[in-house]
Amino acid sequence: MKKMDLRVIKTLKRIDESIVELLREKSFEDITVKDICEHAMINRGTFYSHYKDKYDLIDSYQKELMIGVEDVLYRSKEVTQKEEEMKEILEGLFVYIEDHKDKIFATAIAVGRLQFIEEFSKYTYKFYEAKQKEYGITIAQDNFRNYLITYMSNAHIGIIHRWLEGGCKESPKEMANTVEKITVNGIFKSLLVNEEVVI
């Protein structure tokens, strides 16, 4: 992979910082490319060499975030215990979210919180759908299975949202432990984790 020029990295960082700061002052609809360029202290030609418009900028954030989340959720782990694997994955997810909270904020504001949450929940739904099978939980009724996984994925979205709104005061490890208690030691254990259960 070709290494990105340091000047380009700095320019993109200024653009990122500018859109976040501008979104704290006014709505996405009211922000222009001119505003972004003036705030980032770059010319419009420089901006357009990276993005078609402000929508392309936000779209790049959304794609980057979803690829990153998917990578964290499905990255292979060198652990043997399912509980430890889950905790490691969850901690990695919270680390990623904390590291990218500004882009998450900008994307959620620009596309709408509900749309962003809906997109994000698709990945957590698929993740728990796969984990349900790995943990040996067989649920005969599709409706119950779908409701269960929807409940778990949306609960996690709510916890993540609350954590971000609170300024990420707890560490990613603490948050992973909290979520792990609710899922692995909560719902999954109630369905007899590691044993085949048919509901």
- Residue 39 pLDDT > 70: yes
Cα–Cα distance for residue pair 72/95, rounded to 1 Å:
10
Question: Per residue in 92-105, pLDDT tens?
Answer: 999 999 999 999 99
Cα–Cα distance for residue pair 12/18, rounded to 1 Å:
10
Give the pair of three-digit tokens for residue 166: 């609170």
Cα–Cα distance for residue pair 186/13, rounded to 1 Å:
41
pLDDT for residue 91: 93
Q: Among 62-66, 91-95, 118-122, where is mean pLDDT lowest?
A: 118-122
189 Cα distance to chain centroid: 25
Domains of the chain, by residue range, sit at: 1-50, 55-190
Q: What is the mean pLDDT of residues 152-158?
A: 83
Class of domain 55-190: mainly alpha
Query: Could you say which DSSP state residue 3 is in?
Result: P
- The better pLDDT of the pair 40, 165 is held by 40
Greatest pairwise CA separation for the chain in angstroms: 62
pLDDT for residue 55: 96
pLDDT for residue 126: 82
| Phi, psi dihedral angles at 137 (to 5 degrees) | -95, 110
- Residue 118 pLDDT > 90: no
Q: What is the mean pLDDT of residues 146-175?
A: 88
- The better pLDDT of the pair 77, 160 is held by 160
- The better pLDDT of the pair 115, 40 is held by 40
Q: What are 16's strand-pairing partners?
A: none
Class of domain 1-50: mainly alpha
Q: What's the pTM?
A: 0.79
Q: What are 137's strand-pairing partners?
A: 197
| Phi, psi dihedral angles at 108 (to 5 degrees) | -65, -40
Ramachandran bin of 167, using left for φ above 0, alpha for ψ from -120 to 50, beta for the remaining angles: left
- Residue 18 pLDDT > 80: yes
Q: Work out the number of other CB atoms within 10 angstroms of the CB of residue 3.
A: 6
Give the pair of three-digit tokens for residue 71: 């990578």
pLDDT confidence band for 138 (50 / 70 / 90): low
- Residue 196 pLDDT > 50: no
3-state helix, strand, coil in the chain (%, to 5): 75, 0, 25
